[in-house]
């Protein structure tokens, strides 16, 4: 490509003059193809190919998309001129744009922006990827890309876009939480999950769910290094001094309207310091907000300790998208506790079980079993299922289900006759937001609208995100109690066969189940 003329930054008028520098030399006339007449002719004496004529001709042709590939390709220099003009490539054929991409005049990663037509850019990228990867032509045919608002995706949610993946969306509810009814959107491909959670909502909504939310704040923990441990200890003491902390806080807070530093937790390892900045972030999940404030705060610290070396803005003491004790103990994002009392009647009629059986299974499975596994934040049956389904539906970061699924589920017998069930779910690190990130996408915004929680709260910044955290925790509770009931009733496999398998397989399974159940030991609920 070294010998090709790069005109990506050359003005249109200059490029045109360069290409036609011999037009007035009569003896150098040569045949050219004129797309405006569909014929070869001698090179004109006073003008070059007119982009306006080209555009009109292409529009008049009104070719079907498949016929466009048969149109003649204009010279590269002319295509560059058109791309860099006000036309912005509108009159270029897909084949000509692919030629420009291959020649380096139109970077594939920003083809949507250069064409000012996101959907067409995605279509052409699919064509190029199919060719480069040597895919069979039908490989991407079932991956949709049309009728999507890519303006909300560009520079925000995804790069190198090839289309979008459709995920089924169901709902669980009504869920009675803090005196208000919610219909909770859940996006999942796991059969039985929504049905099971819906059953749980019915049970815990008999008397309703109560929640308490604490805005812990989002965290970012850079790793910094000093020449020796004495310097590291000196810096640690300096940061922890009230006056110095307040100065750092002022620098941090200056970077955002909503970011408000709450704490710097410092851990020392040799000459290394891990500075865990914790900040409120309004209704945003807030990772970018906290990162920006942390960078600003580090510049102030470095002014006082020039020997400090910033190793990484994230030192894994935050901790983001990893199971960690620090998030389980200190919390991250929103910390939520939900409680509900499920009457004995609902336990029998809806869940087909009783309080003593559920409480014992919860103790042995969720507490003892999780301890045997060495679980961190996993004292639950399947909190991650509900968390991830709601995260995908409402535009949260799905990878943050790792920390957000930290949950301790507790069940106790309750009431005068100990026939009711008292249940709590404690989730110390739900990382959620109702503004920014994937929440801006059309479908995800619609799901937040279902909950009445889209965008920032008009009078109390942060309240929408806190309410979303409560809804998630209460939905987790619904999923927990339903699954536990299925387990003690030996219904888990049967329910998945109903929702995940064909009728033929289900019939065969039922035959096997009847035979096996004849000798299946009964669950002893008389032992504590």
Taking only the tens place, the pLDDT of each residue in 258-278 is: 999 999 999 999 999 999 999
Query: HSE-up of 326 (CA within 13 Å, CB side)?
Result: 19
Where are the extended beta strands (E) located within 233-315? 260-269, 272-280, 309-312
Query: How distant, in Å, are the alpha carbons of 43, 85, 487 from that of 201?
Result: 77, 59, 17
Structure tokens at 68: 């466009």
Q: Is 391 exposed, middle or buried (0-12, 13-18, 19+ CB in 10 A)?
A: buried
Q: What local confidence, expressed as pLDDT, does residue 152 receive?
A: 95
Cα 259 from Cα 282, distance rounded (Å): 7
Say yes or no to pLDDT of 319 above 70: yes
What DSSP character marks residue 223? E
Cite the DSSP H helix spans in 420-520: 442-451, 463-488, 492-500, 503-517
Residue 89: alpha-carbon gap to chain centroid: 32
As annotated, the active-site residues are 190, 321, 397, 496
| Among 409, 421, 406, residue whose Cα is nearest residue 469 | 406
* Residue 77: Cβ within 10 Å count: 18
Q: Is 327 exposed, middle or buried (0-12, 13-18, 19+ CB in 10 A)?
A: buried
Sign for the CA dihedral angle at 442, 443, 449, 455 comes to negative
Task: Enter the CATH code of domain 222-312.
Answer: 3.30.70.420
Cα 444 from Cα 297, distance rounded (Å): 34
Cα 116 from Cα 110, distance rounded (Å): 10
For 282-294, what is each residue's pLDDT tens digit? 999 999 999 999 9
Confidence label for 6 from pLDDT (cuts 50, 70 and 90): very low
Say yes or no to pLDDT of 307 above 50: yes
Q: Is 91 exposed, middle or buried (0-12, 13-18, 19+ CB in 10 A)?
A: buried
Q: What is the pTM of this model?
A: 0.82
Contact 297, 304 (CB under 8 A): no
Rg over alpha carbons for the chain, rounded to the nearest Å, is 31
For the chain, give every residue range classified as CATH 3.90.770.10: 169-215+333-500
Mean pLDDT of the residues in the chain: 87
What DSSP character marks residue 174? E
Q: Is 494 exposed, middle or buried (0-12, 13-18, 19+ CB in 10 A)?
A: middle
Contact 407, 379 (CB under 8 A): yes
Structure tokens at 153: 């995706």
Cα 114 from Cα 88, distance rounded (Å): 7
Q: What local confidence, expressed as pLDDT, does residue 431 receive?
A: 98
Query: How distant, in Å, are the alpha carbons of 62, 314, 421 from that of 482?
Result: 59, 39, 13
For 26-78, what is each residue's pLDDT tens digit? 333 333 334 333 333 444 443 455 555 545 554 554 445 556 778 899 999 99
* Residue 336: Cβ within 10 Å count: 28
Confidence label for 25 from pLDDT (cuts 50, 70 and 90): very low
Helix or strand run (H / E) with residue 201: helix 193-204
For the chain, give every residue range classified as CATH 3.30.70.420: 222-312
Q: Is the backbone peptide bond immediately before 228 cis, with ω within 30 degrees of 0?
A: no
For the chain, give every residue range classified as CATH 1.10.3270: 81-152
Q: What local confidence, expressed as pLDDT, does residue 503 receive?
A: 60
Say yes or no to pLDDT of 513 above 80: no
Q: Is the backbone peptide bond immediately before 275 cis, with ω within 30 degrees of 0?
A: no
Helices (H) and strands (E) in the chain, counts: 21, 12
Collapsed DSSP state (helix, strand, coil) of residue 32: strand
Confidence label for 512 from pLDDT (cuts 50, 70 and 90): low
Structure tokens at 102: 């291959």
For 129-145, what is each residue's pLDDT tens digit? 999 999 999 999 999 99
For 420-441, what is each residue's pLDDT tens digit? 999 999 999 999 999 999 999 9
Is domain 81-152 annotated with CATH 1.10.3270?
yes
Say yes or no to pLDDT of 11 above 90: no
Task: Enter the CATH code of domain 169-215+333-500.
Answer: 3.90.770.10
Contact 438, 187 (CB under 8 A): no
Exposure string of 292-323, with b = 16+ CB inside 10 Å and e = fewer, is: bbbbbbbeebeeebeebeeeeebbebbbbeee
Q: What local confidence, expressed as pLDDT, does residue 19 receive?
A: 38
């Amino acid at each position: 490509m070294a010998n090709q003329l790069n005109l990506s930054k050359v003005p249109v008028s200059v490029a045109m003059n360069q290409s036609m520098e011999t037009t007035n030399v009569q003896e150098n006339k040569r045949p050219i193809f004129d797309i405006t007449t569909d014929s070869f002719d001698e090179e004109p004496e006073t003008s070059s190919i007119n982009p306006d004529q080209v555009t009109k001709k292409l529009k008049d042709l009104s070719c079907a998309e498949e016929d466009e590939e048969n149109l003649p390709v204009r010279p590269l220099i002319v295509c560059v001129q058109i791309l860099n003009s006000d036309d912005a490539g509108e009159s270029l054929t897909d084949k000509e744009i692919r030629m420009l991409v291959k020649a380096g005049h139109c970077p594939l990663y920003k083809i949507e922006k250069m064409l000012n037509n996101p959907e067409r850019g995605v279509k052409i990228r699919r064509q190029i990827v199919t060719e480069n990867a040597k895919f069979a032509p039908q490989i991407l045919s079932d991956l949709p890309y049309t009728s999507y608002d890519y303006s909300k995706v560009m520079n925000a949610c995804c790069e190198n876009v090839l289309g979008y993946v459709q995920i089924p969306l169901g709902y669980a509810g009504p869920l009675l939480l803090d005196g208000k009814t919610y219909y909770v959107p859940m996006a999942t491909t796991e059969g039985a999950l929504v049905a099971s959670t819906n059953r749980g909502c019915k049970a815990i909504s008999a008397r309703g769910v109560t929640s308490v939310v604490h805005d812990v704040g989002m965290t970012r923990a850079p790793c910094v290094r000093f020449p020796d441990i004495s310097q590291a200890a000196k810096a640690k003491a300096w940061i922890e001094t009230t006056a110095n902390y307040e100065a750092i806080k002022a620098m941090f807070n200056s970077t955002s309207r909503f970011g408000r530093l709450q704490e710097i937790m410092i851990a020392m390892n040799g000459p290394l310091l891990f500075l865990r900045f914790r900040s409120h972030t309004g209704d945003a999940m807030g990772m970018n907000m906290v990162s920006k404030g942390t960078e600003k705060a580090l510049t102030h610290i470095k002014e006082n300790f020039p020997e400090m070396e910033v190793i990484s803005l994230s030192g894994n003491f935050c901790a983001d998208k990893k199971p960690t004790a620090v998030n389980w103990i200190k919390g991250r994002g929103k910390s939520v506790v939900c409680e509900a009392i499920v009457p004995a009647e609902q336990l029998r009629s809806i869940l087909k079980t009783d309080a003593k059986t559920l409480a014992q299974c919860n103790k042995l499975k969720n507490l003892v079993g999780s301890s045997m596994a060495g679980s961190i934040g996993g004292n639950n049956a399947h909190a991650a299922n509900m968390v991830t389904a709601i995260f995908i539906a409402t535009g949260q970061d799905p990878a943050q289900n790792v920390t957000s699924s930290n949950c301790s589920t507790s069940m106790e017998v309750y009431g005068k006759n100990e026939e009711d069930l008292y249940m709590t779910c404690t989730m110390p690190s739900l990382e959620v937001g109702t503004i920014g990130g994937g929440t801006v996408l059309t479908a995800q915004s619609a799901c937040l609208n279902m909950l009445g929680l889209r965008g920032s709260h008009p009078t109390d910044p942060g309240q929408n995100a806190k309410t979303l955290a409560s809804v998630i925790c209460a939905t987790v509770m619904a999923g927990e109690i339903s699954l536990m009931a299925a387990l003690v009733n030996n219904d888990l496999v049967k329910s998945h066969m109903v929702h995940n398998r064909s009728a033929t397989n289900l019939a065969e399974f039922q035959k096997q189940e009847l035979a096996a159940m004849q000798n299946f030991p009964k669950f002893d609920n008389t032992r504590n």
